[in-house]
Structure 1
Amino acid sequence: MTQPAGTWASARAYEEYVGRWSRAVAALAVPALEVPPGSRWVDVGCGTGVVSGAVLEEAAPRLLVGVDSSAAFLAAAADRVRDPRAAFVAGDAAALPVGDATADAVVSGLVLNFLPDPRAALAEWRRVLRPGGALGLYVWDYAEGMQLMRVLWDAAAELDPAAADLDEGRRSVWCRPGPLRRLAESAGFEAVDVGAVDVPTVFRDLDDFWQPLLGGTGPAPAYVTGLAPDAREELRALVARRLHHRPDGSIPLVARAWLVLGRA
């Protein structure tokens, strides 16, 4: 992830917040690329190794290079994966430590919206792909379908109008099919397809929903942890009232991601 230091500093907090839900998307996204076994993969913004793990489990790669700017996340990815086919290296999404036309597939999960120049990044990803190589990236549908974030931000804006300006659904251009398709095509990718991937996000109880928001990793948790204690508790209470609880106390939600597929 390319973010200021501290925003994505805790691998554990990231895993508890959205990493656990990203894993389900990655397991569906990797096979959709239809990349043959024995290929060379690059995972851009590999984070804690969620997508890298899916590639190694689902795609039988010859080599996988995970690139990230966070030392903490790289260490977590290496610890999670532990596979001789994988290497995790520090680097920037728009300046990959990979040669021209040397990769068969480039993948990226939940990274695009946090890059300072997504257009430059996608041009870089196309550079490292061989002709006909596969692109696969996914982002949360911040505007509508990522329900855990929508519940939080809608409640926050009701209590604090200034929170609306921090809402990822308003700040993120790249969370709708049209802009995502145009972005990939403008970088030179062909046969671009954008589709929804919905995964269930069932929380055991209110604490299971709320505690990850106290980790400070990501825009919404950073907002929550920055509140004064009284304001934080008021927000928690409003969120609790808005969530649907099953008789056993669990909270059923859905996380929608937009999956972008293309060819170099």
Structure 2
Amino acid sequence: MSEQQRFDVWQAGPAYERFMGRWSRKVAERFTALAGHPDGLRWLDVGCGTGALSAVLAARCRPALVLGCDRSAELVATARDAAYGPVRFVVADAGALPVRDGACDAAVSGLALNFLPDPAEGVAEMTRAVRTGGRVAAYVWDYAEGMVLLRRFWDAATALDPAAAELDEGRRFPVCGPDPLHALWTGAGLADVWVTPIVIRTVFTDLADLWSPFLAGQGPAGSYVADLPPDDRDRLRDTLAETLPRDPDGSIELTARAWSVSGIKR
């Protein structure tokens, strides 16, 4: 495992929910509304995490089955605890999905594609799992610009510590943009490929609501904060706070943009 990969840790379910889960669920709702889906489909959710996308699929798309897969046993356990409807979760790697060829009607992935060791391999596996005419789709944060919380965080971190730039998702994950995603999908042989933005509001009640999730050590940003000495951690918090807009009641409203990509298996 490289030093960068050491920071790509998403493990504790409740901590993830507070840091990203509350926003990923909003994106999942927009994502599932982008294209019409008939009832009774068999869905595969790759890199399901705590099950945010699977839950939205179960609630809104009347599936025959949703199978969520993630390599983290702890996240899968959290997803199982909250599961309802025709949803199952298994511990499995995105590079070796536990379904036969063409077993699913649609394969989707939410906020996980860029964390795969080989995103192209992951898209190829999703494509393998889907029947001819089935849909392969995903969404990722626009780390470079549109996911404002993390953009402001890494800008503050690198202002204090230039070495932090090596961990900045905007720099590390160039796949998280319209052109690279389109190329990845067409490279997998998918047809009718389109890429579109999904923008949501991210509202925090105060600075503590925004900052405290970073302290749980989740993902690259949280892992970076957890490794800092206490004084440096406080300095980073204060530097970040200076860049944030505040409403009169102390709340902080930002926006978060994700890029959604979809294609059809020939």
Q: Give the TM-score normalised by structure 2.
A: 0.96
Paired AA for residue 164 in structure 2: A
| Cα displacement string for residues 152-201 of structure 1 (whole angstroms, at most 9, x for unaligned residues) | 10000000010111110001021110001000110111111111100000
- Give the corresponding residue for 1:13: 15
Quote how far apart the aligned CAs of 1:28 are. Answer: 1.1
How far apart, in 2, do the equivalents of 1:6 and 1:185 lie? 27
Matched residue SS, 2:186: helix
1:99-110 to 2 correspondences below 5 Å: 99-110=100-111
Identify the range of structure 1 (74-83 vs 190-199) with the bigger mean alpha-carbon deviation: 74-83
CA separation in 2, counterparts of 1:60 and 1:17? 28
CA deviation map 1:16-35 (0-9, x unaligned): 11111010110011132422
Name the CA shift for 1:40/1:5 in 2 (closer, same or farther; >3 Å). Answer: farther
Tell me what 2:42 maps to.
40
Within the candidate set 61, 64, 70, 2:63 is matched to 61
- Residue type at the aligned position of 1:215: A
Asked if 2 retains the 8 angstrom alpha-carbon contact of 1:51 and 1:109, the reply is yes
CA distance in 2, matches of 1:79, 1:188: 37
- How big is the shift at 1:4? 5.9
Equivalence map 1:1-264=2 (5 Å): 7-83=9-85, 85-264=86-265
Aligned residues: 261
DSSP-derived class of the 2:89 partner: strand
Letter in 2 for 1:208: D
Q: Distance in 1 between matches of 2:15 and 2:200?
A: 20
Counterpart-to-counterpart distance in 2, 1:244 and 1:28: 25
Identify if the C-alpha distance between structure 1 residues 201 and 24 changes in structure 2 by more than 3 Å, giving closer, same or farther: same
3-state SS in 1 of match to 2:170: helix
Deviation at 1:82, TM superposition (A): 2.7
Whether the aligned pair in 1 keeps the contact of 2:8 and 2:115 (CA below 8 Å) is no
In structure 1, what is the Cα distance between the partners aligned to 2:10 and 2:211? 18
Structure 1 position 102, deviation (Å): 1.2
Structure 1 pair 194–163 and aligned structure 2 pair: CA distance change class (3 A): same
Instruction: Quote the Cα distance in structure 1 between the aligned partners of 2:48 and 2:205.
Output: 28
Aligned-residue offset at 1:6: 8.5
Structure 2 residues not aligned, in runs of 5+ = none
TM-score by length of 1: 0.96
Deviation at 1:106, TM superposition (A): 0.6
Structure 2 counterpart SS, 1:32 = coil
Q: Partners in 2 of 1:14 and 1:33 — Cα distance? A: 28
1:218-251 alpha-carbon deviations (Å, 9 max, x no partner): 0001001110111011111111111110000000
Letter in 1 for 2:119: P
Superposition CA RMSD, Å: 1.2
d(CA) in 2 for partners of 1:236, 1:160: 13
- Amino acid in structure 1 at the alignment position of 2:223: A
Provide the rounded CA distance (Å) in 2 between the counterparts of 1:64 and 1:191. Answer: 24
